[in-house]
């Protein structure tokens, strides 16, 4: 089975621009979540999607938005980029969000640099 795939792997954007990051979830996983990991920090939860609906959101402003598609792949969109948005963005999928024994399978991340 394939794991979680994220694209692109690296990205450089200018402050004020918009960016879209993509994630293909692991086969059979209907729940996708996104995390922001600043340098030297642990991942911070951005939001989660279950069957195309957002079902959880962390402490991130509305300029962070997302989508989940019928095949459970997902996008993270960030508008009006700020320098502090520079981070590693991780996507993770899990078979279901209702059972705590299921961990998340993570992708390798997209490293975003805002200049």
Partner 1 sequence: AQKITQTQPGMFVQEKEAVTLDCTYDTSDPSYGLFWYKQPSSGEMIFLIYQGSYDQQNATEGRYSLNFQKARKSANLVISASQLGDSAMYFCAMRGDQFYFGTGTSLTVIP
Closest Cα to residue 75, out of 7, 3, 1? 7
**Rounded to the nearest whole angstrom, what is the least distance from the CB of residue 16 to partner 1 in the complex?**
26
Q: Is 66 in the site for partner 1 (CB under 8 A)?
A: no
Region binding partner 1 by CB under 8 A among candidate stretches 18-26, 42-50, 62-70, 73-81: 42-50
- What is the end-to-end Cα distance of the chain in Å, rounded? 37
Residues in the chain: 115
Q: Is 101 in the site for partner 1 (CB under 8 A)?
A: yes
* Cβ(4)–Cβ(107) below 8 Å: yes
Q: Which residues bind partner 1 (CB under 8 A)?
A: 33, 35, 41-45, 48, 56, 58, 88, 90, 92, 100-109, 111
């Amino acid at each position: 089975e394939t794991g979680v795939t994220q694209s692109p792997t690296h990205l450089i954007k200018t402050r004020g621009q918009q960016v879209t990051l993509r994630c293909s979830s692991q086969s059979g996983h209907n729940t996708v979540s996104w995390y922001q990991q600043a340098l030297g920090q642990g991942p911070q939860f951005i939001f989660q999607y279950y069957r195309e609906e957002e079902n959880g959101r962390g402490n991130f402003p509305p300029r962070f938005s997302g989508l989940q598609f019928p095949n459970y792949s997902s996008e993270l969109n960030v508008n009006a980029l700020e320098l502090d948005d520079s981070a590693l963005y991780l996507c993770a999928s899990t078979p279901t969000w209702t059972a705590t024994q299921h961990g998340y399978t993570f992708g390798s991340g997209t490293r975003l640099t805002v200049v």
